[in-house]
């Protein structure tokens, strides 16, 4: 029984007639959509229902801060750099790291400086072009990534535990499709 006295199970919201979200969602975006529908009844809020929820989920996940990373003294962007070096299995230039992690060159440079000072990444100057640096994980960096990754995945599993496996698979597929389309269209606009 819910706190409102109805017979709904946790997470279910009773259907509200005329609710553009179909009464299926009691999230903050559904409330925003209802407010917009009240002042602009003919407004198509479909895009807001998708993008608003993606943005809200991202904000909540960022606020929660990745506890295993925090315990290891890493930020998410730092871990992304270390992870890119680990998963590719070879040296990368700062530009390649920026592309791998969807970061700006300046942000990568700043993070690499900190990670190098901590002894997690080492830099090798290219023998043919001294302006080019090649980066790789140190043994300590590889050990840190390999130690943190299982705990981070467990943390992310817990964050998604409200969805069953088929729901997670469906969501991953839909988000993958959206991401692929956006990377193609928006990537072309940036280039």
> Which has the minimum average pLDDT: 6-10, 40-44, 89-93, 102-106?
6-10
| CA gap 147, 138 in Å, rounded | 14
Does residue 26 register a pLDDT over 50? yes
Residue bearing tokens 């009773």: 14
Can you give the pLDDT at residue 70?
A: 87
Can you give the pLDDT at residue 188?
A: 62
Mean pLDDT, the chain, rounded, equals: 84
Residues 35-78: pLDDT tens digits?
A: 999 999 999 999 999 999 999 998 888 777 678 888 899 998 99
Can you give the pLDDT at residue 191?
A: 53
Can you give the pLDDT at residue 122?
A: 96
Does residue 19 register a pLDDT over 80? no
Can you give the pLDDT at residue 59?
A: 87
Which of 7-21, 101-115, 121-135 reaches the highest mean pLDDT? Answer: 101-115
Task: Please list, residue by residue across 51-67, b when 16 or more beta carbons sit within 10 angstroms of its beta carbon and e when fewer do.
Answer: ebbeeeeeeeeeeeebe
Phi, psi of 134 (to 5 degrees): -115, 135
> 23 pLDDT band (50/70/90 cuts)?
very low
Residues near 98 by beta carbon (within 8 Å), at least 6 away in sequence: 104, 105, 107, 108
Can you give the pLDDT at residue 15?
A: 37
Contacts for 165-174: CB closer than 8 Å, 24+ residues apart: none
Can you give the pLDDT at residue 88?
A: 93
Whether this model's pTM surpasses 0.75: no
Mean pLDDT confidence for 122-143: 91
Can you give the pLDDT at residue 67?
A: 82
Mean pLDDT confidence for 140-162: 92
Does residue 8 register a pLDDT over 50? no
Can you give the pLDDT at residue 68?
A: 87
């Amino acid at each position: 029984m819910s706190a409102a006295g109805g017979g709904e199970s946790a997470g279910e919201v009773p259907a509200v007639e005329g609710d553009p979200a179909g009464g299926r969602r009691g999230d903050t975006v559904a409330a925003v959509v209802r407010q917009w529908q009240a002042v602009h009844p003919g407004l198509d809020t479909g895009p807001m229902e998708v993008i608003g929820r993606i943005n809200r989920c991202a904000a909540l996940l960022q606020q929660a801060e990745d506890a295993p990373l925090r315990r290891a003294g890493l930020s998410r962007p730092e871990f992304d750099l270390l992870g890119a070096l680990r998963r590719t299995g070879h040296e990368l230039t700062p530009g390649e790291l920026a592309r791998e992690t969807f970061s700006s060159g300046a942000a990568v440079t700043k993070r690499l400086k900190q990670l190098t000072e901590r002894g997690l990444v080492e830099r090798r100057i290219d023998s043919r072009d001294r302006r080019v640096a090649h980066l790789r994980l140190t043994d300590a960096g590889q050990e840190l990534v390999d130690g943190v990754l299982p705990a981070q995945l467990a943390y992310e599993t817990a964050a998604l535990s409200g969805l069953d496996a088929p729901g997670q698979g469906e969501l991953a597929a839909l988000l993958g499709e959206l991401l692929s389309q956006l990377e193609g269209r928006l990537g072309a606009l940036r280039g």
